Amino acid sequence: MDRHKRSQEGSGSEFGPTRAQIGAGTIVILVAVLIVAATTAGVLFNVTDVLQSRADITGEAVTSEVDSPLTVVAVTGRVNQTADPSTLTDVRVIVSTSQAPVSVDLRQATALVETPGAIDDLEYSADTPTAGETFSVEALSDPDGSAPVVTETADQFAVVIETPPLSVHDRFAVRLQLESGATKRIEIRVPERIRTRSAVSLR
């Protein structure tokens, strides 16, 4: 009986400290793993914040490059009533600006005109516009005499475009691209009222 007790006591004194050491070592390793995980998570959060900030900046840059300082006030058209049926042959895109001061030189702009039968890239001309080749600019309101350069909110200029004959329900689009790369796109559907009028409001 005494031998059995001594054997158990000896066994406890031999393995007890070893088990305690193993337990302490496991805790140290676990703490180290948690510290590394927390540090890694912090780095990932920081990287995410940086990438998000860069994405926001890029988004703003793209928007500022695409947005145009021009405002389309109206779009009108003149009708060829001698044709049967009547057709639209002359479009005026009236532009202004809501920003001031600005300097938008329409002489440096291009107009991409998409009609059912063609896509034409037009350049500015000081003379009468030529269908498929050039557009002109007429000053409707120009207090400081800056035409064809838009400089203030009081300016209103008509970008005059000669189009191929367009019939009722035909669709066409005009995209004005400025020297800065900013664009303004207008899509129009020819209304039925061109059958009875010599001039129509298209927008």
* Contact (Cβ atoms closer than 8 angstroms) between residue 73 and residue 97: no
Last residue of a domain, one of 66, 90, 114: 66
> Where among 50, 66, 82 does a domain terminate?
66
The tens-digit pLDDT sequence of the chain (203 residues) is 554 444 444 444 455 555 555 566 677 677 666 666 655 555 444 544 544 444 443 333 233 335 789 999 999 999 999 999 999 999 999 999 998 889 999 999 999 999 998 999 999 999 999 999 999 999 999 999 999 999 999 999 999 999 999 999 999 999 999 999 999 999 999 999 999 999 999 98
Burial 31-44 (b: 16+ CB within 10 A, else e): eeeeeeeeeeeeee
The structure tokens listed for 44 are 């990932």
Both 107 and 192 in one domain: the answer is yes
Beta bridge partners of 113: 120, 174
Tell me phi and psi for residue 173, to 5 degrees.
-140, 150
| Strand 134-141 with 118-124, pairing | parallel
- What pLDDT is attached to residue 44? 44
Residue that has been written with the tokens 């329409």 in this structure = 106
Determine the structural domain holding residue 187 and report its residue range. 70-201
Shared-domain flag, residues 85 and 181: yes
Residue 49 sits in the same domain as residue 112: no
CB distance 173 to 202 below 8 Å: no
What distance, in Å, lies between the first and last C-alpha atoms of the chain? 110
Peptide bond into 165 cis (omega under 30): no
- What is the number of structural domains in the chain? 2
CB 202 within 8 A of CB 75: yes
Q: Report how far residue 97's alpha carbon sits from residue 72's, in angstroms, rounded to the nearest whole number.
A: 8
Supply the pLDDT for residue 51: 46
Taking the model in full, what pTM does it have?
0.66
The two tokens of residue 42 are: 């912090």
Judge if 169 and 185 occupy the same domain.
yes
Q: Please indicate, yes or no, whether residues 100 and 145 belong to a single structural domain of this protein.
A: yes
Domain containing residue 141: CATH number = 2.60.40
Query: Coil, helix or strand for 100?
Result: coil
Contacts (Cβ under 8 Å, ≥6 apart) of 40: none
CA 56, distance to chain mean position in Å, is 13
Q: Position of tokens 């303004």?
A: 184
Only one residue has tokens 């302490």, namely 24
Please, how many CA atoms are within 13 Å of residue 137, restricted to the half-sphere of its CB? Answer: 26
Q: Token match 């002109």: residue? A: 136
